[in-house]
Amino acid sequence: MDEWLSTVPVAHRGLHSPGVPENSLAAFAAAADAGYAIELDVHLSSDGEIVVFHDDTTTRLTGTHHKVTATSAAVLTALSLDGTSERIPLLREVLDLVAGRVPLLIEVKTGTPSALIGKPLLALLAGYAGTYAVQSFDPRIVLWLRRNAPGVTRGQISGSFAGDGVPFGQRILLRSMVLNAVTRPDFLAFQLDALPSVVVALWRRVLKAPLLVWTVRDPGQLRAAQRFGANPIFESMDPRL
């Protein structure tokens, strides 16, 4: 198991700050320069490119109204992030920028069938010499990785799903992470505010898997992460202070 998952703090969507938007090349450069691992989010564009962006639509960060998976990469990468000169990057641009300096924690967003996004993702990563792991809330993506790329370190993300509009039955299924029995993730990433959790404690023992927690934003939350023996996925603070 990659030791960095337990020891290197992870910058949530890069080391972003006022004027340095989340999931931007500037935020990733800042994190790499500081020696932090980088968490980033990926979608598949309508023309098969992997773009780095968190939301399902471009509204919040660009002021435009595009569904990411229904929009071409050319349109997406031309959009300004939060009124800055930064643009929505392609994953290949991020790989070129980071160039193995720090580990990458790549979250595959839900909404695209596993094989459709999995194949181009693996093609990009096959040529990357740096350290990385792939995670998702969607256990179907984790299962696809187990079956098609067992050598890629894979993680299951979960949490309370409270207020997310997820149907009750699906919420129970995802929160319990019962499909871990089939997907066998190498690590867990869980919502800090939903801890302690009997389910998380059980799966950590069964899988012998490290735990990362999201999102740590203040010293109190950092201390909580440390009490749970978890590596922080952080923003808005320096976890090394």
Report the half-sphere exposure of 223 (CA within 13 A, side-chain side): 3
Cβ-proximal residues to 32 (8 Å cutoff; 6+ apart), any chain = 38, 97, 98, 101, 102
* DSSP-H helix ranges across the chain: 4-7, 25-34, 59-62, 73-76, 91-98, 114-126, 139-148, 168-176, 180-183, 198-207, 219-227
Residue 217, token pair as written in the block: 């934003």
Residue 92, token pair as written in the block: 């290949």
Residue 173, token pair as written in the block: 């299924």
CB-based burial of residue 18 (10 Å sphere; 0-12 exposed, 13-18 middle, 19+ buried)?
Answer: exposed
List the catalytic residues.
12, 54
- Taking the C-alpha atoms of residue 197 and residue 199, their distance in angstroms, rounded to an integer, is 5
- Taking the C-alpha atoms of residue 217 and residue 149, their distance in angstroms, rounded to an integer, is 33
CB 142 within 8 A of CB 185: yes
